[in-house]
A and B are shown apart, each in its own frame.
Chain A
């Protein structure tokens, strides 16, 4: 009796101090808690929180990519911090402060390199994904009449061990090719348009489209034919209409592609624009409740979910991609900042910043399946991104 009690106590003690038990990592994700500089580690099978990792610096604008084994999250922070987080051990593996101000980055096709796009100093730095040692430093163009370099936005990983990104201040798209040992080969496309603010790469890695803030339209580069140069698409939207103020910059990424159609936010107009994927001709414009920020296709391509800039950021709208109509207007709560689908689209996680929670929606029934508390949640990122090009 005494002995079994001892074993029981020993067992409890061991369980208490053991590492988290053996588990896979394909259903994991992270929620950025922007005000506290922490990450919440979550899982989408039981829809629970597994823990929190702190000490990631200023995460007011953070984004995340994952190692191909889906164990590590690389977090790009506003303060120039690049933090490698071990999702299984739930701790920081390594952290470097590599710049003064950064916005995002990408992981190379083979998973060995991490590229970070920096605002300050303007340019891209590339790191060894394992050690976070600096591999290459590629300063951007000096902004004419100043001493500073152009801010870099829209960094994406392109097939062939390349990184592609846009220069906000000088209107350029650069492709940095790391396929050969030694220094990368950088090709520059200049005069692509005024103030590219973000970009998307189609899920097959072929087309890179940078959204323009300073003028209407997008700049498109066909990576199968870079020799054809950058061409302008969507140049005519909103012509003759007065631009509305934009209180939050829209975002673009590969999830705006829903099969044969691509849905993008109109800048300064309360519309989502529809293009043919491939010909990039505009095929529609859908009136929505505010300035769109994220326009995300459900993985089956049947719906597109849209959230909005202040002061309409308590709403989310759902567009049917067949009829191009808004089929639902939801009000999840104050300040909806981000949405993330699970890889096969059975769940949509929504961060409601001022509601201090993450909501888990069934995107087929349009019902809430669960909620997790989180202080000021912003970006939500699932490890399934590890195997998607351009995310």
Chain B
């Protein structure tokens, strides 16, 4: 009996983990993507430039980000960079939004 519940818990954990992984991989809906695109250009753009060529914040063009790991981008957007003006965006965006933004930047955000 005890053994069964351990197995059930483990199985539950695997299922739950899988569900979370699935959620993290899912893309935001089209409406949300439009909002994020707007946020990227306008609000990220207020420090990094509308064309993401840099400003108070560093450039975020695909050339500038070449070789930067996706996880680093996600961590930077999520937690900000202490000691710099880069704020933590996790107060406004969920994991899925942030992953989508990181991918968008790595793909090369098209200029307006």
A residues near B, CB below 8 A?
34-35, 58-61, 78-79, 101, 103, 119-120, 151, 168, 195, 197, 213-214, 245-249, 310-311, 335, 353-354, 376
Interface residues of B in 78-112 (CB under 8 A from A): 80, 83, 85, 87-89, 91-92, 112
Q: Would A34 and B50 count as touching, CB distance under 8 A?
A: yes
Q: Would B56 and A151 count as touching, CB distance under 8 A?
A: yes
B residues near A, CB below 8 A?
38-39, 42-43, 45-47, 49-51, 53-56, 80, 83, 85, 87-89, 91-92, 112
Q: Would A58 and B87 count as touching, CB distance under 8 A?
A: no
Q: Would B56 and A60 count as touching, CB distance under 8 A?
A: no
Q: A58-B49, A247-B43, A249-B46 are in contact. List 18 more A-B contacts (CB 8 A).
A: A34-B50, A58-B53, A60-B50, A60-B51, A78-B55, A103-B56, A119-B54, A119-B55, A213-B85, A214-B83, A245-B87, A245-B91, A246-B87, A247-B92, A249-B47, A249-B56, A249-B85, A353-B42
- Using known A-B contacts A245-B88, A246-B85, determine if residue A335 contacts B56 with beta carbons closer than 8 Å: no
Q: Would B53 and A61 count as touching, CB distance under 8 A?
A: no
Give complex CA distance A78, B45 in Å. 11
Q: Is the interface of B mostly helix, strand, loop or mixed?
A: loop
Give complex CA distance A314, B55 in Å. 24
Give complex CA distance A354, B46 in Å. 14
Residue pairs across A and B with Cβ atoms less than 8 A apart, 16 shown, are: A58-B51, A59-B50, A61-B46, A78-B50, A79-B53, A119-B55, A119-B56, A195-B85, A246-B87, A247-B87, A248-B46, A248-B47, A249-B46, A310-B39, A310-B43, A311-B92
Number of A-B pairs, beta carbon distance below 8 Å = 65
- Using known A-B contacts A35-B50, A78-B49, determine if residue A60 contacts B43 with beta carbons closer than 8 Å: no
Residues of A within 8 A of B39 (CB): 310
Residues of B within 8 A of A78 (CB): 49-50, 53, 55
Q: Would B49 and A61 count as touching, CB distance under 8 A?
A: yes
Give complex CA distance A311, B87 in Å. 13
Residues of B within 8 A of A58 (CB): 49-51, 53
Give complex CA distance A312, B92 in Å. 12
- Nearest chain B residue, comparing its CB with the CB of A153: B56
Residues of A within 8 A of B87 (CB): 245-247
Across chains A and B, which 5 residue pairs bring their CB atoms closest together, nearest first? A60-B50, A245-B87, A310-B43, A60-B49, A248-B46
Give complex CA distance A249, B39 in Å. 16
- Nearest chain A residue, comparing its CB with the CB of B52: A60
- Nearest chain A residue, comparing its CB with the CB of B50: A60
Residues of A within 8 A of B91 (CB): 245
Candidates B47, B51, B56; contact of A168 at CB < 8 Å:
B56
Residues of A within 8 A of B80 (CB): 245
Residues of B within 8 A of A247 (CB): 43, 87, 92
Residues of B within 8 A of A60 (CB): 45-46, 49-51, 55
